[in-house]
Structure formats: structure tokens, C-alpha cells
Structure 1
Amino acid sequence: MILAAILPTTISMIISYVITTNSLKERAVVENMNLLYQGRMNLENDLEEMNRTSLSVYSDPEFYISLYYSHENINASGRQSATLQSINHAISGSKQVYLYVDGKREATLFAQDIARRMSDAALYDQIPDLSGKDYYIEPPRPVHTYGFQLSNPYPDSLQVMTMYRVIQRIPSSEQLGILAIDLDMSFISRISSQLFQPDHEQLYILNEDGYVMYSGNSSLISQKPREAWYNLIQESGTESGYFEHDDNIYIYDSIRTGLTDWTMIKEIPSSYILSSADKAAFINILLLAVSLLVIIAATIWISIHITEPIRKLVGVMSQVKSGRMTVDVSSPRKDEIGILHRRFGSMMDTINNLILQEYKLKLANRTNQLRVLQAQVNPHFLNNALQTIGTLALEHNMKRIYSLISALARMMRYSMYNTDKPVKLGTELDHIKDYVELQKERFENLFDFRYDVDESTVDILIPKMLVQPLVENYFKHGMNRMADDNYISVSTRRLSEDVVQIVVEDNGNGISEDKLATLKEQVQQLEMLDLEQLEVSDSDEADAAEHGIGLINIVTRMRLYYRDKSSFNMENVQPRGFRVVLTINVEGEAEDEGVDRR
């Protein structure tokens, strides 16, 4: 029992620890890759902005022309000072801007909001060799003033990163001068400091030459890393990724702009990521030790006080298993064993009740099945009765009555077989003719039925009862009994080989403009739904006609059957009347498969 309790628990702890550590590492990688991505985008935006700003030396014609004049030209020197001031103010973190014009051997420094000029000056000797380069970003270094004297010297601790741009005579590559922009480290640290926890993590930004442009450890700035992880990143050949080395996780991403091809690396100690898992593992081990002592004591007590009563209960269960469902399982004990006996007895009572209920349900289902069969008989009986009455009317030479009863019988037979299979349009139109025949008798020929059907359309397949509700709607709401020129028309035609149009039109009362607008809005909402969201309303016909649900159901059924290859349009006809146009795409449909011919 001790082994059965300890071994699974220990194995579970080990598995949980492994899964938890892997999950924590994966989550840390995903979160930090997203964090580096955001930092990369922000840095790239700032670097691109600095690049665009430095390129203003080409986009400003007046400045470009001023490079051909000396400082003695007031306009030229003023234009240069204004441009340097604009660049200094446009770039966040810019400390000073230096311009050297080769042909005039003149230098200008805009610093501390003042432009200083120097004539007959050599290029500042600490500027790196820019041969063959259009631009270069120098790793951070102590600030220098390019040979100028400042009224307020910079502190010795100030570090700047300098962006150099060679100004060329366009379109040739002849060098006209050099522009240098000094930026304090806030240019990078403002974004980089948000990407890591200085107390536990480390962040490095390396330039294309491998020098550290930024690091949480300031002593590493402008140095080349010597650690093995740097070589692993170089050998990976990928722009972004992660790996684990020396109990640290390294996540890296590339910063690629028109100026830079840098790499951002974040170093996270595995112990920092797994600290919560280690604490949980220690607590689990402590609990396991305590549990072991409790289990040993409980095992001894259980062996003495519980095993025997449980054996008796097992014997009772064996009797139940053999089919004796009325066995006595009561117990006078007040402890857990007694509760177990009473719960088992309650369970037996529940099982007996469920058996009885199951029997009653089966009996009720048999009764319901019988009622369903009876319900199926009644429509057949009515249909047969109508045929008998029609035959009797014919025997008494009452052909009109026979015609009406036959039409009603055909309508009942068409409606009685409530199937989801499609029908031919000709079958649906025959049903409409029978319906109209009965309505003519009802309204004493107060309307004219116009029937114009293209014979090439009668064999297309449509959902059952798709057109008939449109005709029925006229007699329920559209017909004007006071008029003597009432008509309703049903027409079909082929617009193309695969497109058929069905039009139902009348000159009745039409629909109010407000209700028509509401119906059109509902149709548009249906067209925006996915097919899985469509649902045919189960409202009765009276409610459907009153609230427009009948028309909406027709639209829904058309979309479900034709899969968005159909359209439904409705409009009022001037001076009075209502028109519904169904446009159906029958491309690729089977002619006879699954067709209801009744």
C-alpha cells in the first residue's frame, strides 16, 4: 500500500515538474520573442526616422548649394546652421550635429543651441575612416567636441553613439563633406530598458561588426562579446530564434534598417524562469515526506479497523452482482464504513427506481409509436374520401364539383408528403394551378390568373413549396375585392443556360414602404450570415404571413439549397401591386436524382 501510494505520487511529481519546466520555458520564449519584436519595431522606427532626417541634406536644395560657398557667405552659413539645428531638434536624443565641408575646409558644430564655425580646419582626427561607405554608426564612446570649445563642457561620463553620413556630389560619388550626429544613450536605452529585468536578465544589442551598442552591463558597451553564445548566434544563420546554453536561454532578433544590420539578444537564466517550479517541487517533496508518515500510520490502523467491515460489504456486493437486488445493506456504524453501507443501499434503491422508470419509458414509447401510425393513416383516409366524393359527383354529372374536389385532393397529396427532397418546377406550378382553381371558386372569378411559363424551365429542381406561398400571400393580404381588374401572374424564363428567373406579380394592395424597407433589411442581414447560421422559422403560416416570416423563410431556403447561387428581390409595382423575383442558378444540378415526383 505504501509503494502504491508513494510510487505514483513520485512519478507524477517528476512528470509534472518536467512538463511545468518545459511549459514555463516555452511560455517565456514566446513572451520574450513578442517583447523583442515590439522593441525591434520601435528601434527600427527611430533608426529609420534618423536615416530620413540625415538625408535631408539632399532634399534641401538651399543647403546643398551652400556647400559650394564658404562661411563668408552669410546666406550659405545661415542655411547650414539652420539645417543642422533642424536635424538636431528632429532626432530624439541628439546632443550635437557636426558638418565638415571638404572643398572649403570648413567645419560647423551645432551644440547647446548654438552654431559654431571653424575655417581652414582639417577633418577631426577621431572620425573613423569612411572610405567606401555612405554612412556608418560608431559604437558608443565618450563625447568629444570635434576641436571646438564649448561654454558648458559635457561631463566626462557622457557616452554618445555617432551616426556619420558622407555627403556626395549627386549623381557622382565625389565626397563633398561629412555629417556627424551625436546621440546620447537614451536613444537606445529608452526602448531597451523596457525589454528586460536588470536584476535577473541581460540584454545586448550588437552591430554588424559584433560590437556591443547597448547592454545592461555598461562595461561591455563598445566591446566584442567573447562568450560562446555569440558564436552560436553567428553560426545559426537565422535572423531570429532562441537556444539554451550554460543554463541560460538566449533569444535573439535582427534589427534591419537602411542604416543597420544589428542583432538584439536577451539572456535569461533558466533558474529565474524555473524559480516558481523549483519552489513547487520543494513543497511537493516536503508534502510527500509528511504523507509517507501519515500513510504508514493509516495503513496499520486500516488493517485493524476497516478491512473486516469492507470484506462484509464486498460480500453484499457479490450478492447484488448475482441478481439479488433486495439485499439488506444497513449498518449500525456511525463512521465512514456505516456511511458507505447506507450510500450503497441508497444507490440500490435508485437503481431499482431507474429500472422501473425505464420500463415505463419503453411502454410510453410504444404508445407514441402507435399514435404516430394513427396520425399517418388520417391524411390518407381524407384523401381517399375526397376521391370517393369526387367520383360520386361525376356520377351525378356535377363536373365542376368533381374538378374542384380533384384539385383539392391533388393539393393534399402534394402537401401530405412532407419531404426534404426537391421537386420539379412544373410539379410546383401544377400545385399552384390547383390552388388558384379553388380560389377562383371562392372569390367568384374576381381576379385573372396569368400564366406565362417557359417550357425549358419546368424540369429545373426547386425546394418544395417555394413559389406557392408567394401566390397564397396575394389572396391573404394583397387582393382588393372592390376592384374589377384584379390579376396575379406567374411567369418563368431562362436568362442564360444556367440561370432561371421566376416572377410572381399582382396588382393588389402591395406592402407599405416601411414594412418593405424592414423586409429588405432582413434579407440583407440573411445574406451576410454564414450558411451554418441560417435557420428556417417554425412559426405557423398565419404568423409568417403577418410578420413577413414567410418571405424570409423563402430567402433562407433558397440560400440553403442553392448555396448563395440565387437572389431574392421584392418591390411594389406602380400604381399598385407587388412583385417578387426569384433568380436561380441551376448550374451542375442533377436532373432526376433525389427528386420528389409526388
Structure 2
Amino acid sequence: MSKTGQYFNEGGKPVKFRSIRSRLIQFMLLATTIPILLSISITYIHTKETIKGQSLEENRHLIFQGTTNLKNYLDNINKASLVVYTDTNFLRNLRKIPDDYRAVAEIYTVLQNIQNTVSGIERIYLHATESNQSTLVTPATFPKRESRTEPYVSTRPYEKYTTSMEPTHKSHDYGFPPSPTSYSEREVFTFHRTVTNIPSEKVLGVLAIDVRLDAVAAICEQLFNKQNEQLLVVDQSGSIIYSDKDEQIGQKLKDEVVLEHIRRDQISGSFENGGAMHVFEKMQTPYADWTIIKRIPNATLYERANQLTKINTAIAVIALFVIAFGTLFISVRITEPIKRLTSYMNRIQAGQLNVDIDWNSRDETGIMFTRFRQMMDTINNLILREYRLELANKTNQLKALQAQINPHFLYNTLQSIGTLALQNNVPRIYALLSSLAKIMRYSMNNNDALVTLQEEAGHVKKYLELQKERFGDQLEFSFRLEPETLQISMPKMILQPLVENYFKHGMGNQGNQGRLDIASRMKPDGVLEIVIENNGESIPPEELERLNLQLERQHSGVPAEWSDEDGIGLHNVLMRLQLYTEYESALYISNIKPQGVRITVEIHTQGKRAEENHE
């Protein structure tokens, strides 16, 4: 490489794209550009589909609610028209002669009640077939009445139907002379009901109720955004009942694709047509088969996805510039330390082990030089460190030998004191010293890692006898060991730490006589169960839960976190049991009511015995 940092091949030609810097830039650009582009594409597609699904679901609920409101409005008109049957005199008045002014007045009253019951009713037309009388009621004029042999022409197609709905059309006065307050240009739809002589099917009259589009428009305007969406209400024949475009109202829908979808048996659904998503919901009633259609342009539907994609693209471009600049800067920071480190390594290879390695940096290169300097210090001090370790090992061996001598000296001294107490007629002191000496001999005998339950119980019994001397009548204990468990092998020094916890945490705090019971039995599958119960102070629930959690973690082979106060003894006991039975043994702790603690030890002996017999 030349002084300018340019690399050359064997022929002397520059090799720019083989340098670490160029390779690093190429790799970083590829490693970032491809994932970013994929991420933008996948994010756009996923966001687009997600937004589409959310929007369709929201619009389905919205249109369903609008359909429900519209159906309720039409049901109110239908219920209001049923007054012709609920009024007992109405059907009778239809058949009376025209000069019965009382009957005429009652008919006027019924029609005006229908008009006042539901908002939006423009006019009501009634034709009585037997009396050949036509009546028109409007909110702004007096009722009109005249003789006609046939009903008005617009009502004739609906005479054979009980109830039906005429599509939106221009309002008219049903052949009556127009009044100054008539609005002939207003758009209305008409509810038709045939009045029959129940229970027969004889037609007594035809009722037509013109309804303004105000209420329908108020319901529909809540279902869409007028700026970028469109809403239609059409009937089964394709006639437009309502539209956000006034010129379409009352016309026939010309989009055959939309007509094909709404004429299917599907009550609700969605489809894409003409660059827009269409969501529809049918309103099926005995008198009206309308469908609400909402048209959402794709530009509106995917507007948020497009905005998010633009933002991601801008971020990606900025990220690429930052990555390119950062890669160039980092490559320079990497190549210079490599050159310096190569120089140091050449000097060390020549035999200069005490090289002064100097590089002041707080980044990874500084850590690398620090570790390299530490490695050289380790190599230089290896012989001295090995010598010190050898001296330490000899010192530890000497301390271990002294530790073995001192307990034997104490044991022999206790035996001498016990003999002296016996010579001075103090047998109680001799018995206590003898028990203490046996306890020490049992604990110091490292040759026997496994003992029988009988031997372990004898050791604990001597320990409790010494505690009995201490507490007197304040302590009682009992052993209930089943005979078949006495010769079962178990790890040494298992029971004493568990019994000792009673005197450490529970004895003397309850204010009554202390009690400690030890029992054993054989469970199925070769499981030895040992239960230690005391009437000491119960463990607080939070502490008990924590202890059982740690025991369960250790039983599962997961490292447990024990405290120095109450967990070390339990940890050591369970660890020794698991080492003996290959993690099959267990240790449980629980409280006893009204007070006390129960410790249960389970030792799996069957698998261990089979292994020992095989050996």
C-alpha cells in the first residue's frame, strides 16, 4: 500500500475495490439498502391490507347501523299507517255515502294523525273504492275531497299489494287542483298500503303516503364523507332512492357491476370496481327492498398507507446517506489501528516482549489495544504467577492438615473431661459430654458419605438430647420411624440442619412448650418420605412462597438465589439429596395450623439401589 492509502496488486495496478474501506462501504450499502427496500415494500403491502381490512370493517358496521336506522324510520311509517285498522270506525266510514259529514271528518282526523305521527310526511292520499271518494291531506292546506270512480293513476299498480314502496319521484297533488303551497319539484318516495276488509281480502281503499327525503338524507349523511366518498340508496329494480348527487335521485343506476352484486342473495359484502371499493348492506322488509351502497375511492382508502410509505422512503434516503458517511468514517478509524497493531506484533515477533503499546481511544479499538497490552503482561508474568500458585497450594495443604488435627484434639479433650466427671460422680455431665463427643465423631467421619436412616436419626436424637438439657421441660420431641425405613441409605447430615432451623427461627417465640416430631414412611416406587413438624412460629406467606419457589427452581435444575439467613441450609440439603439421587429427590416446606412448620423430604431410593446392584 502506498503512502496515500491506495492498494496495488503484483503488477503495480491499483486495486481500490479490494480494500477494507471499499468492501465495507459496499457491504453496508447492500446490507442496508436491500432490507430497507424490502421493509418499505412489505410495510406498504401489509399496511395497505391492514388499513383496507380496518376500513371495510368500520364501514360495514357504519352502514349496518345506517340500515338499522333507516329500517326503523320506515317501520314507524308502516306502524303509523296501521291506524286504519286499529281505529274501529275507519273501515266503516270508508263505506258510508259521501254526504255523511261526520264520517268524512273522522277520516280526515285519522289521516292527519298519521301525518303528525311521523316527521317528513309530505301528503297523504286515500281513495275509497265503495264510496268512490278520493281524499288528499297536506300539512299546509285544508283537506281536499272529490268523487272518483278510479284511484289516481300512480296508485293503481300497487292495488294488489298489501304494502309496497314507490321509488323516489317528483311530488304531485294526485290530480287535485294545485294550491299555492304545493311543492311540485320536491323529491319524495311513496309508501302504499291497500286497505282491505279483514278478514276477507276485499279492497276497501288505497292509501298513499308521500315522504320527503329529509329524514333519509339525515341518516345517510352520517355514513360517508361528502368530499371524497359517495353513498347511494337503491331498490331492487335499480332505482336510486337517495344519492349525494341530486341529479341522480329518481334515476336508474347504470353501473351493471354494482347492480349485479346487489341483486345477488348476499345481504352484505364488499367488492372493488372502477378504482374504488364498494361496501353494501341490504335492508329487507315486506314493503321495501333497499340497498345502501358506499363507494370509497382507492386514493382515499389507501391515503394513510401512501403517506406512511412516503415517510418511510424519506427516512430510508436519509439513512442511506448517514450510513455511507458513517461507513467511510468508521473504515478510516478501523484501518489506522490495524496498521499500528501490525507494527507492534512484528516487534513482538522479533522478541521484544516489553513493547510499549500506546493507543488512546475510547472505542472498540482502544479496548482491543488494552486487551493486547494485558495479554502481553499476562505472558510476562506467567512464570511468577505459577510460582505463587505453587506456594499457595502448599499453604492450603498445611491448613487442611491442621484442620484435621484440631477437631481430633477437641474430641480427645472432651473424652478426658467426661472421664474426670465420671470419677467425680457427675454422670449427667459425662452423658452430655459423651453425646457431644459422638456428635462430633459422627460429623467428622468423612469416610462415610452415606448412612442409614437409623444412624442419621440416632445422630439427631443425641443433638436433641443436648437441646433438651438446654431448654428442659420447654422442649419435647418424638420419633415415629417405620421399621422398613431404618436401613434405607441416605446422604449424611441431612436431618440435623432441618431440625436446627427450628431452634434458629421458631423455638421460644410462641410462648408455649416446644414440640418437634420426626416421622418416616415408604411411599410407592421406592420413595422414602421423612416429615419434620414443629409447633414454632409459622413462616410469613410471602417468605414461604419465596422459599418454595427457590426450592422448585433448584429441583428443576435452575440456579436459585438463596439468602444468607434462611436459605443456605435448605440449599445444601437439597443439593446433596439431588447429587445422591440424580435430581429426583425433593424438599417441601409448608405451614401448620394454627402454628408451626412442616418440612417434607422425599428421597428416591429405587433407582439408586438398582444402579448400586448393577455395579
Question: Closer, same or farther in 2 for the Cα pair 1:12/1:97, shift >3 Å?
Answer: same
- The corresponding residue for 1:268 is 296
User: How far does residue 303 in structure 1 lie from its aligned partner after superposition?
Assistant: 2.1
User: How far does residue 45 in structure 1 lie from its aligned partner after superposition?
Assistant: 1.4
- The corresponding residue for 1:256 is 284
- The corresponding residue for 1:577 is none
In structure 2, how many angstroms separate the alpha carbons of the residues matched to 1:375 and 1:110?
Answer: 110
- Give the secondary structure class of the aligned counterpart of 2:224: coil
Amino acid of the residue matched to residue 191 of structure 2? M
In structure 2, how many angstroms separate the alpha carbons of the residues matched to 1:146 and 1:418?
Answer: 103
Question: Closer, same or farther in 2 for the Cα pair 1:234/1:96, shift >3 Å?
Answer: closer
Amino acid of the residue matched to residue 287 of structure 2? L
User: How far does residue 340 in structure 1 lie from its aligned partner after superposition?
Assistant: 9.0
* Correspondent of 1:301 among 321, 325, 329: 329
User: How far does residue 19 in structure 1 lie from its aligned partner after superposition?
Assistant: 0.1
* Correspondent of 1:186 among 202, 214, 223: 214
Question: Closer, same or farther in 2 for the Cα pair 1:234/1:194, shift >3 Å?
Answer: closer
User: How far does residue 376 in structure 1 lie from its aligned partner after superposition?
Assistant: 13
User: How far does residue 212 in structure 1 lie from its aligned partner after superposition?
Assistant: 1.1
- The corresponding residue for 1:21 is 48
Contact map agreement 2:159 2:206 (CA 8 A) in 1: no
* Correspondent of 2:173 among 142, 145, 150: 145
Question: Closer, same or farther in 2 for the Cα pair 1:386/1:263, shift >3 Å?
Answer: closer
Are residues 1:118 and 2:145 paired?
A: yes
* Correspondent of 1:200 among 202, 225, 228: 228
Question: After superposition, where does 1:164-183 map in structure 2 within 5 Å?
Answer: 164-183=192-211
Contact map agreement 2:155 2:206 (CA 8 A) in 1: no
* Correspondent of 2:74 among 22, 40, 47: 47
Question: After superposition, where does 1:480-559 map in structure 2 within 5 Å?
Answer: 541-542=593-594
Are residues 1:63 and 2:94 paired?
A: no
- The corresponding residue for 2:406 is none
In structure 1, how many angstroms separate the alpha carbons of the residues matched to 2:185 and 2:234?
Answer: 22
Amino acid of the residue matched to residue 541 of structure 1? K
Question: Closer, same or farther in 2 for the Cα pair 1:276/1:59, shift >3 Å?
Answer: same
Are residues 1:79 and 2:106 paired?
A: yes
In structure 2, how many angstroms separate the alpha carbons of the residues matched to 1:89 and 1:135?
Answer: 20
Question: Could you tell me the percent identity over the aligned residues?
Answer: 29
Contact map agreement 2:141 2:181 (CA 8 A) in 1: no
- After superposition, the C-alpha distances for 1:85-114 in whole angstroms (9 at most, x for unaligned) are 111111221122111111212121221265
Question: Closer, same or farther in 2 for the Cα pair 1:236/1:104, shift >3 Å?
Answer: closer
User: How far does residue 270 in structure 1 lie from its aligned partner after superposition?
Assistant: 1.4
Question: Closer, same or farther in 2 for the Cα pair 1:156/1:66, shift >3 Å?
Answer: closer
Amino acid of the residue matched to residue 479 of structure 2? N
User: Does 51-60 or 220-229 show the bigger shift?
Assistant: 220-229
- After superposition, the C-alpha distances for 1:251-278 in whole angstroms (9 at most, x for unaligned) are 1111012322221111111110111211
User: How far does residue 62 in structure 1 lie from its aligned partner after superposition?
Assistant: 0.8
Question: After superposition, where does 1:13-412 map in structure 2 within 5 Å?
Answer: 13-112=40-139, 114-121=141-148, 122-127=150-155, 129-149=157-177, 151-234=179-262, 236-307=264-335, 309=337, 332-334=360-362, 338=366, 382-384=477-479
Question: Closer, same or farther in 2 for the Cα pair 1:63/1:377, shift >3 Å?
Answer: farther
Question: Closer, same or farther in 2 for the Cα pair 1:330/1:127, shift >3 Å?
Answer: farther
Question: Closer, same or farther in 2 for the Cα pair 1:105/1:344, shift >3 Å?
Answer: farther
- The corresponding residue for 1:502 is none
In structure 2, how many angstroms separate the alpha carbons of the residues matched to 1:379 and 1:179?
Answer: 108
- Give the secondary structure class of the aligned counterpart of 1:119: strand
User: Does 55-64 or 110-119 show the bigger shift?
Assistant: 110-119
Amino acid of the residue matched to residue 214 of structure 2? S
Question: Closer, same or farther in 2 for the Cα pair 1:312/1:78, shift >3 Å?
Answer: farther
- Give the secondary structure class of the aligned counterpart of 2:271: strand
Contact map agreement 1:229 1:245 (CA 8 A) in 2: yes
User: How far does residue 238 in structure 1 lie from its aligned partner after superposition?
Assistant: 0.9
Question: After superposition, where does 1:1-16 map in structure 2 within 5 Å?
Answer: 1=27, 2-16=29-43
Question: Closer, same or farther in 2 for the Cα pair 1:386/1:236, shift >3 Å?
Answer: closer
Amino acid of the residue matched to residue 22 of structure 1? E
User: How far does residue 331 in structure 1 lie from its aligned partner after superposition?
Assistant: 6.1
Question: Closer, same or farther in 2 for the Cα pair 1:118/1:289, shift >3 Å?
Answer: same
Contact map agreement 2:167 2:241 (CA 8 A) in 1: yes
- The corresponding residue for 1:585 is none
Contact map agreement 1:81 1:115 (CA 8 A) in 2: no
Question: Closer, same or farther in 2 for the Cα pair 1:329/1:6, shift >3 Å?
Answer: farther
User: Does 158-167 or 289-298 show the bigger shift?
Assistant: 289-298
Amino acid of the residue matched to residue 188 of structure 1? V
Question: Closer, same or farther in 2 for the Cα pair 1:285/1:228, shift >3 Å?
Answer: farther
Contact map agreement 1:108 1:115 (CA 8 A) in 2: no
- Give the secondary structure class of the aligned counterpart of 1:252: strand
- After superposition, the C-alpha distances for 1:370-393 in whole angstroms (9 at most, x for unaligned) are 9xx9999969994437999xxxxx
User: How far does residue 21 in structure 1 lie from its aligned partner after superposition?
Assistant: 0.2
Name structure 1 gaps, 5 residues minimum: 315-327, 346-369, 389-410, 420-537, 545-598
In structure 1, how many angstroms separate the alpha carbons of the residues matched to 2:169 and 2:239?
Answer: 12
Contact map agreement 1:143 1:158 (CA 8 A) in 2: yes
Name structure 2 gaps, 5 residues minimum: 1-26, 343-355, 374-449, 465-476, 484-515, 524-589, 597-615
User: Does 14-23 or 294-303 show the bigger shift?
Assistant: 294-303
- The corresponding residue for 1:366 is none
Question: Closer, same or farther in 2 for the Cα pair 1:275/1:312, shift >3 Å?
Answer: farther
Question: After superposition, where does 1:552-571 map in structure 2 within 5 Å?
Answer: none
Amino acid of the residue matched to residue 18 of structure 1? I
Amino acid of the residue matched to residue 52 of structure 2? K
TM-score normalized by the length of structure 1: 0.54
User: How far does residue 234 in structure 1 lie from its aligned partner after superposition?
Assistant: 4.0
Question: Closer, same or farther in 2 for the Cα pair 1:6/1:147, shift >3 Å?
Answer: same
In structure 1, how many angstroms separate the alpha carbons of the residues matched to 2:372 and 2:210?
Answer: 85
User: How far does residue 229 in structure 1 lie from its aligned partner after superposition?
Assistant: 3.0
- Give the secondary structure class of the aligned counterpart of 2:113: helix
Contact map agreement 1:70 1:77 (CA 8 A) in 2: no
Contact map agreement 1:206 1:213 (CA 8 A) in 2: yes
- Give the secondary structure class of the aligned counterpart of 2:61: helix
User: How far does residue 541 in structure 1 lie from its aligned partner after superposition?
Assistant: 2.7
- Give the secondary structure class of the aligned counterpart of 2:80: helix
Question: Closer, same or farther in 2 for the Cα pair 1:273/1:313, shift >3 Å?
Answer: farther
- Give the secondary structure class of the aligned counterpart of 2:153: coil
Question: Closer, same or farther in 2 for the Cα pair 1:184/1:309, shift >3 Å?
Answer: farther
Question: Closer, same or farther in 2 for the Cα pair 1:157/1:151, shift >3 Å?
Answer: closer
- The corresponding residue for 2:10 is none
Question: Closer, same or farther in 2 for the Cα pair 1:172/1:413, shift >3 Å?
Answer: farther
Question: Closer, same or farther in 2 for the Cα pair 1:241/1:387, shift >3 Å?
Answer: closer
Amino acid of the residue matched to residue 30 of structure 1? E
User: How far does residue 286 in structure 1 lie from its aligned partner after superposition?
Assistant: 2.9
Question: Closer, same or farther in 2 for the Cα pair 1:69/1:303, shift >3 Å?
Answer: same
In structure 1, how many angstroms separate the alpha carbons of the residues matched to 2:310 and 2:209?
Answer: 55
Contact map agreement 2:163 2:286 (CA 8 A) in 1: no
